[in-house]
Amino acid sequence: MSKEPVAVVGVGQTRHVAARRDVSIAGLVREAAQRALRDAELTWNDIDAVVIGKAPDFFEGLMMPELYLADALGAVGKPMLRVHTAGSVGGSTALVAANLVAARVHGTVLTLAFEKQSESNAMWGLSLPIPFQQPLLAGAGGFFAPHVRAYMRRSGAPDTIGALVAYKDRRNALKNPYAHLHEHGITLEKVLGAPMLWDPIRYSETCPSSDGACAMVLTDRAGAARAPRPPAWLLGGAMRSEPTLFAGKDFVSPRAGRDCAADVYRQAGIADPRRDIDAVEMYVPFSWYEPMWLENLGFAEEGGGWKLTESGVTELDGDLPVNMSGGVLSTNPIGASGMLRFAEAALQVRGLAGEHQVDGARKVLGHAYGGGSQFFSMWLVGSEPPGA
């Protein structure tokens, strides 16, 4: 028996900011969930199951969100599942929810991811003082910056590419009312003039720390037929993992990412992603990851990702817009960041992305990664159902 087609009929998110002191975590997730229900014109009673994801427990000291948030998410008397995969969790959470619909276990599923970074401490969570081990010398940026230098060496990219990405994403964020950073008056000179934190990564090329949540309502064919607004159809979705460190690990272009993308393209019948996909919302916490992932995801040959960025192909009005929402560089509630990518892809193919809508976006890829480049999750959504 073939899988049930899965449709996204509701998308909701909070207005992401540095600190939401006015709400509890329950209040924060509730806002996103209600916006998703409103978009789908559904009520709590229409939801058959809830699947949630969040950042690693140590980040915000919240160990059992499925227990704490069951009433806030209308999950009483329903199955409620929690998904863990570090920074990619928002993506894998959406995929677990989608699989429940595809397998005809449930008809309509609410999926949600969140983080209140203002009440978290990711830096502390990542650097617990493990006995006998050397302390981590440089924080998250210090972990990723050497990989960026490796990419620059391998690809021969000019050292201004990262700044171009940050300049683009921050301008895109100005068109997205939900984005955290709205840097009016941003210029390329300002991006280039920012201090180097972990050379080659400038302050202006790093992501902010945000409070936010994102929710989606996923449903089957019958649910999509009742939806008041156009659905986004899941054309392919996959997850892949690999160890953080192993001999032969390619941090610049991890094999798990390549394999994950290939699986999605196979499911969706994508022969040439650069030709067949209209836009990409990818997980770029440090600007240079845009050209790196363009190669990893097959949009450019090895060493060619930066040329797409440099030539303007990834601009909002370019041939392959990347991070139309402003991306992780403009909004980063870590636990929700992956789902925000997936949700943006859905909004684009539904034609509901507002000012940052890409004209004629029919197939859009949402991408998330996490851990030490070890978890990958992606989905390709389209404006037409699979097989259409």
Partner 1 sequence: MPEVLKAPLVVEFPFTRSLGPVQSAFLTGLREGVVLGVKAADGRVLVPPVEYDPVTAEEIRDLVEVAPTGTVTTWAWNHEPRRGQPLGTPFAWVLVRLDGAGTALLHALDAPGPDAVRTGMRVRIRWAQERTGAITDIACFEPYDGEAVQPAGHSGEFTDPVTGIVTPARLDYTYAPGRAQSDYIHALSGRRTVGERCPSCRKVYVPPRGACPTCGVATVEHVEVGPRGTVTTFCIVNIKAKNLDIEVPYVYAHIALDGADLALHARIGGIPYDQVRMGLRVEPVWTEDARYPDHYRPSGEPDADYETYKELL
Closest by CA to 170, choosing from 158, 156, 185, is 185
Site residues (CB under 8 A) for partner 1, limited to 131-150? 131-135, 137-139, 141-142, 145-150
Of these, 41, 48, 66, 119, which contacts partner 1 (CB under 8 A)?
119
Span from 170-178, 192-200, 347-355, 364-372 in contact with partner 1 (CB under 8 A): 192-200
Nearer to partner 1, 61 or 269 (CB): 61
Rounded Cα gap, residues 83 and 31, in angstroms: 20
Of 135 and 360, nearer to partner 1 (C-beta) is 135
Extract the runs of DSSP E, i.e. beta strands, from 15-162. 49-54, 80-83, 108-116
Q: How many residues bind partner 1 (CB under 8 A)?
A: 60
Q: Is 91 in the site for partner 1 (CB under 8 A)?
A: no
d(C-alpha 363, C-alpha 269), whole Å: 12
Minimum distance between the CB of residue 119 and partner 1, rounded to whole angstroms?
Answer: 5
Closer Cβ to partner 1, 212 or 237, answer by number? 212
Q: How far is the CB of 85 from partner 1 (least distance, A)?
A: 17
Token code pair at residue 374:
């070890």
Residue 25 or 234: the one with the smaller Cβ distance to partner 1 is 25
21 binds partner 1 (CB under 8 A): yes
| CB 62, min distance to partner 1, A | 8
Contacts with partner 1 in 30-49 (CB under 8 A)?
30, 44
Of 285, 258, 275, give the one whose Cα is nearest residue 372: 285
CA dihedral 3, 238, 305, 289 (to 10 degrees): 140
User: Nearer Cβ to partner 1, position 68 or 351?
Assistant: 68
CA atoms of 302 and 298, how far apart (whole Å): 9
Q: Which of the ranges 21-29, 155-163, 178-186, 274-282 carries the binding residues for partner 1, by CB under 8 A? A: 21-29
**Pick 78 or 221: Cβ nearer partner 1:** 78
Q: Which residue, among 274, 266, 350, has the nearest Cα to 313 in the 3D structure?
A: 274
Q: Which of residues 223-262 bind partner 1 (CB under 8 A)?
A: 243, 245-248, 251-252
Q: Which helix (H) or strand (E) covers residue 219, if one does?
A: strand 211-219
CA separation, residue 203 to residues 145, 160, 197, 323 (Å): 12, 14, 6, 19
Q: Bin 230: left if φ > 0, else alpha if -120 < ψ < 50, else beta.
A: beta
Is 74 a residue that touches partner 1 (CB under 8 A)? Answer: yes
* Binding status of residue 20 toward partner 1 by CB under 8 A: yes
Tell me if 126 contacts partner 1 by CB under 8 A.
no
Q: Which residues of 302-331 are buried (b: 16+ CB within 10 A; e: fewer)?
A: eeebbbbbbeebbbbebebbbbbbbbbbbb
Q: Which of 3, 84, 154, 362 is close enough to bind partner 1 by CB under 8 A?
A: 154
- Interior/surface letters 34-44, b for 16+ CB within 10 angstroms, e for the rest: ebbbebbebee
Q: Which pairing describes strands 363-370 and 108-116: parallel, antiparallel, or unpaired?
A: unpaired
Residue of 38, 153, 226, 275 that binds partner 1 (CB under 8 A): 153
Would you tell me which residues interact with partner 1 (CB under 8 A)? 20-27, 30, 44, 58, 60-61, 71-74, 76, 116, 118-121, 124, 127-135, 137-139, 141-142, 145-150, 153-154, 195-201, 243, 245-248, 251-252
